[in-house]
Amino acid sequence: MKIGIIGAMDEELIPIRAIIQNLERLEKGKRTFWHGRAHGHEIYLTRCDPGKVNAVIATQQMIDHFSVDAIFNMGSSGALAPELELGDLVVATEFIQHDFDVTDWGLKPGEMMFDILMSDETGQMQFRSQQIFNAHPELTQKAVKVAQSIELEKLNGHSPKTYTGRILSGDQFIGKLEKAQHLWNTHQGLCTDMEAAAIAHTCEVNGIPFLCIRAMSDKADHSAVLSFTDFLVSATANYGKIFDQLFQQLDVQ
């Protein structure tokens, strides 16, 4: 099985690179990819850099260059749900791009427009809308079972818990309590990042299964800037363990 793995920062890829054998560097245009093997699977890694456009470009290049069978995304996120603590993991089931806003046209926050055309009969604009993009159910279920079956490393004395649910993405670093509360109240997303929903969107267009696991590195409030740097490496270490076990359970094609 060919698996493409995308992280926004090199530090977020460190736990994954540690379990990949025979890593080789591949240059495609201005992007660097890494190729190796893990438990019989071909693994391709790349850093996309923060932001939705960066994430889309990296995802599409991963699909076009290497014809991967699935895309995995992992990294840090800011917790929105009150019960989440630093180090907790979210295995995503669905995604919304929270900063897409055409509410003045009567759509819901994060609802996007597709297949736009003008009706010859009415002169009105017609379109299809979509707010939610989905993770692959089977991959998600397997990842959750793995996460719940292994011992995760503690972070500052906290034993991380695994949650499943919605992730919100936008081209914004959420560092204010008021904004975090607004996103939670509007979308009930467990956490927020800057890439996952855009990757999910790209995978859906291409018909590629998508799995996303995010580690909480901050509370997406006034403490975010301080704790993000302090906890990034520690908070992301556990998904390396999860991916290592998950690779062993996936069929080798």
Is 27 known to be catalytic? no
What is the spatial distance between Cα 211 and Cα 89, in angstroms, rounded to a whole number? 13
Q: Angle CA(15)–CA(4)–CA(245) in degrees, nearest 5?
A: 50
User: What is the CA 136 to chain-centroid distance, rounded?
Assistant: 12
Read off φ and ψ for residue 39, nearest 5 degrees. Answer: 55, 40
Residue type, 147: A
Q: From the candidates 12, 88, 94, 193, give the one annotated as an active-site residue.
A: 12
Which one is catalytic: 88, 111, 218, 221? 218
* CA dist., res. 92 & res. 143, Å (int): 10
Is 218 catalytic? The answer is yes
**190, amino acid identity:** L
Q: Which residues pair with 95 in a beta bridge?
A: 133, 167
C-alpha–C-alpha distance, residues 173 and 22, integer Å: 35
DSSP string, 126-190: EEEEE--EE--HHHHHHHHHHHHHSPPPPBTTB---EEEEEEEE-SS----HHHHHHHHHHH--S
Tell me which residues are annotated as active site: 12, 218
